[in-house]
Amino acid sequence: MAFQSIEVRKLTPCIGAEISGVDLGKPLGNQQFQEVHDALMENLVIFFRDQKMSIEQHKEFGRRFGPLHVHPNAPIAIPEHPEILEIKADENSRHVAGEEWHTDVSCDVEPPMGSILYLTEVPPEGGGDTLFANMYRAYDTLSEPIKEMLKGLTALHDSSKAHYYRVKATDRDDIKFPNAEHPIVRTHPVTGKQSLYVNRGFTLRIPQLRRNESDALLEMLYRHIETPEFQCRFKWQPNSVAFWDNRCVQHHAMFDYFPHRRYGHRVTVCGDKPFLRAS
């Protein structure tokens, strides 16, 4: 794909690209917005270095792609900005969000379209990388009999599985733990490609199967999803941004930097109900 207003450098042939020539602190012109969108569709996750964004600028960039999502049960660190999810770890942290491979908030009936994470502080000695995996490739590399079987199945996703440590939280009056049933194979609404849509973080079981069958099939799919050849790994620097397409990407946050501090904000763009379109 040719780009005129941005520069795109692929991280791997499979997934990920660094974008330059963009100042996310300023409104994007129509052409630049379209090219950033197209780069995301082509590379599934895109990265920006050396950015300076206020909270309002961060939100405005996210809003170019759609309405902003408010997490159903995460703490709201900035009451006047409920769309901002604080990403924070320090010497008091015993775990961090996203330590398992997952798709953001797949428990929603309409899970998010994408997430935009902006880190301003990173560990001084490295660590805290984020891994991203291509779910188109995960589906495409399955055998044909498995593909055919999966097309007739759904999976139950539940927030209480991923956010068990928040079940007794009292810091939000509107706290919720949603659950939803989605097709295991999902059609991307823009590209039309098929991808796998189950993840260790949120997925409970496959209701069409017996429990032992469901557990065995899901474990096989989780291990397949974690294949290194499907992945890229992003090494954070201060003021870096990652923007991933939540409909066809899973990610995993490495927590290998205790007791150092890692800090930033995330905005999440609303999505639509997953569907499978017969090919």
Rounded CA separation 195/268 (Å): 20
With a CB cutoff of 8 Å and minimum separation 6, the contacts of 79 are none
Rounded CA separation 193/207 (Å): 25
Alpha carbons within 13 angstroms on the beta-carbon side of residue 249 total: 28
Rounded CA separation 151/40 (Å): 26
| Rg of the chain on CA atoms, in Å | 18
- Smallest CA-to-CA distance from 126 within 264, 236, 18 is with 236
Preceding amide of 259 cis, omega within 30: yes
- Smallest CA-to-CA distance from 195 within 15, 69, 64 is with 15
Question: Among all residues, which ones are annotated catalytic?
Answer: 102, 104, 251, 266
Token pair 């007794």 in the structure block, residue: 168
